[in-house]
Amino acid sequence: MLKRFHIVAIVAVVSMAGAPAGRAAAPAASPAPGLAHATFAGGCFWCMEGPFDHVTGVVSTTSGYTGGSVKKPSYEQVSSGATGHAEAVDVVYDPAKVTYAQLLDVFWHNVDPTDGGGQFCDRGNQYRTAIFYHDADQQRLAEQSKQTIEASGKLKRKIVTQIVPAGEFYAAEDYHQDYYLKNPLRYKYYRFNCGRDDRLKDLWGAAPAH
């Protein structure tokens, strides 16, 4: 991520220096029969894979870009904020083992849905929160979950998370996939300095989803 505060930016630069010159992003493949897609933007996609990977019934998570106007964007293009894309994760799941409503619960508890300028230390529209629904049922459930949180009064500010139709999803470069597993020390260092967990605790308490 290219727009982090000073100490966090060092981690990203070091990580990029050791990474291969990544390929252009490619469209995500369709899920196998019996499986479904769920697509969420929650700021840095490195931080959104793990929470979903640990959910029984989730088959895979893919970091990527969606919601913009440029075909097959690169990480550098998206990070500039000029393409309109958001960093996002595409979750392939088995509806017989986990419901979309459960995935929504994981999503909400891993983001600050009241922040309209980015997420945590990552600033800019490319780090916005969004739910990209794939059908009318996902749209209904997403809107319902948002209304339930708002009615609870738990959050002190208005939810600004977008709920919009899913478009083309482009898988990010290989070095971004499973970053939290491939580079655990760098990942933890970034996450800590970004203040993500402290802010999530302030918002949601010690919620199991994060």
Q: What is the DSSP letter of 19?
A: S
CB 78 within 8 A of CB 65: yes
Secondary structure (3-state) at 27: strand
Q: CA–CA separation, 35 vs 125, rounded Å?
A: 30
Amino acid at residue number 113: P
Return the H-helix or E-strand segment holding 65: strand 58-66
The DSSP call for residue 127 is G
* Token output for 151: 């009615």
Catalytic residues: 44
